[in-house]
Structure 1
Amino acid sequence: MAELVKYLTIYFFTMVKFIAGPTMGTVSGLSWIETVLITVAGMMTSVIIFAYLGEKFRKKYLSRIFKKKKKFSKKNRNFVIIWKKWGVFGVTFLTPIIFTPIGGTLLITSMGESKKKFIPYMLFSAIFWSLSFSTFFHFFVSKINL
């Protein structure tokens, strides 16, 4: 039961913040492959949920929060620069390290991008960054005696 709670905790944290998977997986003693798989599963669950419910979520909740039209913030400008320069692939690739899985998905859906196009890119991004971060934390950071 304790193992299941550990897996679910890491999984749910990764749905919200990607880096939680590799860090918590390493700290909690999961194997490298378990950490990679849970991290990818957590991010992709978030992506799929918000890809299909993102438009409804944005209309129902975010419109209430942001009633007034605001000028572009620095964060918005950076997103537009990334979008214009690299498009959907750039945003999906940077989602785990700059945006959150939820934030990146909502940004892409707000641009009207096809789910069939960006979900495979998100999967590629999740696998790439999960392998990278999990390798770094498991084989380098965990060896440092603090």
Structure 2
Amino acid sequence: MSEYLVTFLGIYFLCLFKFIAGPLLGSAAGFGLGEIVVVTVSGMMTSVVLFSFLGEWFRKNWGLIRRKKPKRFSKKTRNIIHVWHRFGIWGIAFLTPVVLTPIGGTVVLTSFGIAKRKILFSMLVSSLFWAITFGLSIERLLEIPFLKNLWL
């Protein structure tokens, strides 16, 4: 039981920072789809909760930590603004697990002034969708004999 708990907590900790770690490592650890979804979503949502409440403070005080002033409109910020104008909160939330990190997506939404309740709900829906999608995809990919032999 303690080995399972250590594995679960290790994957949970990695999901705080990188969403894809949950489905990949959960599958490697032999977790079922339900366990993969729980560990991945709980890791991401912990980051979202922490940074939606700390995000405003982080955004205000980040300038004190940086030595040089960043470019105002880099290619990355232009792409984020383009997604924001085209798809709004749901676009950013949808791309967060795939392109951004849970922390990055939350800080972006916080910087746009979105209410915490909306951030939490949209990120929860997005993380559930992607955790189930990635969990099922990895299970189906491992049913291919060639890939199954590589994985094991």
TM-score normalised by the chain length of structure 1: 0.93
The alpha-carbon distance between structure 1 residues 63 and 134, as it changes in their structure 2 partners (threshold 3 A), is farther
Which residue of 1 is the match for residue 32 of structure 2?
A: 31
Contact 1:89 1:118 in 2 (8 A): no
Runs of 4+ in 1 over 6 A off after TM superposition: none
Distance in structure 2 (CA, Å) of the matches to 1:47 and 1:2? 27
Shift of 1:53: 0.8
Bigger radius of gyration among the two: 2
Q: Deviations over 1:9-50 (max 9, x none)?
A: 100101100000000000111111101111011000110000
Match of residue 110 from structure 2: 109
Cα RMSD, aligned residues only:
1.5
Distance in 2, Cα, partners of 1:47 & 1:14: 11
1:58: how far off?
2.1
Which residue number in structure 2 is paired with residue 57 of structure 1? 58
1:79 match: secondary structure: helix
Matched to 2:82, the amino acid is: I
CA contact under 8 A between 2:52 and 2:119: conserved in structure 1? no
Consecutive unaligned residues in structure 1, runs of 5 or more = none
TM-score (ref. length: structure 2): 0.90
Aligned position for 1:75: 76
Residue equivalent to 1:90:
91
Aligned twin of 2:135: 134
Change beyond 3 A, Cα 1:64–1:142? farther
Cα deviation per residue 1:103-134 (whole Å; 9 max; x = unaligned)? 00001101111111121011000000000001
Per-residue deviation, residues 83-116 of structure 1 (Å, max 9, x unmatched): 0101111101111001100000001101111111
Whether the 8 Å contact between 2:8 and 2:39 is mirrored in structure 1 is yes
| Matched-pair identity in % | 45
Equivalent AA in structure 2 for residue 20 of structure 1? A
Show structure 2 runs of 5+ residues with no match.
Answer: none
Q: Alignment partner of 2:97: what SS?
A: coil
Taking the aligned partners of 1:103 and 1:18, their CA distance within structure 2 comes to 12
